[in-house]
């Protein structure tokens, strides 16, 4: 009788553990990303891609929005988020914009709740210098290691941040073929809209020159004030 009770108890324990196992596997939020091309290809937009981000776990996950195409930036990418290589494996130059988002506040993140999906189609022909009559390999890797800057985010604000147990989520590679040289030239011209005009370039040069002059003045001050003390010993007193 005793042996039979022990056997029944062992079976119950095994059944309970097997039922609990799936719950343990989904104990954290899990981000999955995918990259695809449209089912119907538009020859006038051969570099159209569809990005999909899904939280397939059972806990929320916060991701930095600047690493996604879901930022309102005039329909353009805020920074390079795709890995693009040509047929020889060379990295394709990114010609889009680079947003200076500064220190990471809570506004830099969006939260995906369990089962939530974000999707978007975009033309990356304006963002990368594709070569005509060639095939390119593209991958999307979402960095999940970013966290709010503790120097600008309080503990109370950080309570609404949900870190991921993953460091990154990667899509599979997709291939894009560019068969139209005119499309490449047109996209390059549109990318040139992001370049500085003459006035902006002049302003940047003026600020750069002023910065160099201030650095030179600071270096001269430090040399005049402190180098003699270092070379001759502490006989001189700093004022």
pLDDT along the chain (239 residues), means of 10: 46 42 48 91 85 96 94 81 94 88 91 96 90 92 95 93 95 88 52 58 73 81 77 59
CATH 2.60.40.2970, the chain: domain bounds: 19-194
pLDDT of 163: 94
79 burial class (0-12, 13-18, 19+ CB within 10 angstroms)? middle
Strands 117-123 and 168-170: unpaired
pLDDT of 71: 84
Decide if 70 contacts 208 (C-beta within 8 A): no
Unique residue bearing structure tokens 């056997």: 7
pLDDT of 180: 64
pLDDT of 126: 85
Residue 91 DSSP symbol:
B
Which is it for the CA torsion 226, 228, 231, 234, positive or negative? negative
Decide if 63 contacts 108 (C-beta within 8 A): no
Decide if 71 contacts 78 (C-beta within 8 A): yes
pLDDT of 10: 46
Determine whether domain 19-194 maps to CATH 3.20.20.140.
Answer: no
Distance CA 145, CA 219 (A): 38
């Amino acid at each position: 009788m005793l042996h039979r009770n022990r056997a029944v108890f062992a079976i119950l324990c095994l059944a309970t553990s097997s039922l609990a196992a799936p719950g343990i596997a989904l104990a954290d939020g899990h981000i999955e990303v995918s990259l695809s091309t449209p089912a119907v290809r538009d020859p006038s937009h051969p570099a159209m891609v569809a990005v999909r981000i899904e939280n397939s776990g059972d806990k929320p996950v916060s991701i930095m929005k600047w690493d996604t195409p879901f930022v309102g930036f005039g329909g353009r990418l805020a920074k390079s988020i795709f890995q693009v290589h040509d047929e020889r494996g060379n990295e394709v130059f990114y010609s889009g914009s680079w947003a200076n988002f500064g220190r990471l506040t809570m506004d830099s993140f969006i939260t995906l709740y369990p089962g939530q999906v974000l999707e978007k189609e975009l033309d990356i022909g304006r963002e990368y210098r594709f070569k005509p009559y060639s095939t390119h390999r593209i991958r999307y890797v979402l960095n999940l290691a970013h966290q709010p800057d503790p120097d600008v985010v309080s503990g109370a604000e950080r309570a609404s941040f949900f870190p991921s147990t993953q460091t990154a989520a990667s899509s599979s590679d997709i291939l894009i073929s560019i068969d139209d040289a005119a499309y490449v030239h047109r996209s390059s011209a549109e990318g040139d809209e992001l370049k500085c005009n003459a006035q902006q370039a002049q302003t940047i040069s003026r600020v750069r020159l002023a910065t160099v002059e201030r650095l030179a003045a600071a270096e001269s001050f430090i040399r005049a004030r402190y180098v003699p003390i270092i070379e001759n010993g502490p006989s001189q007193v700093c004022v």
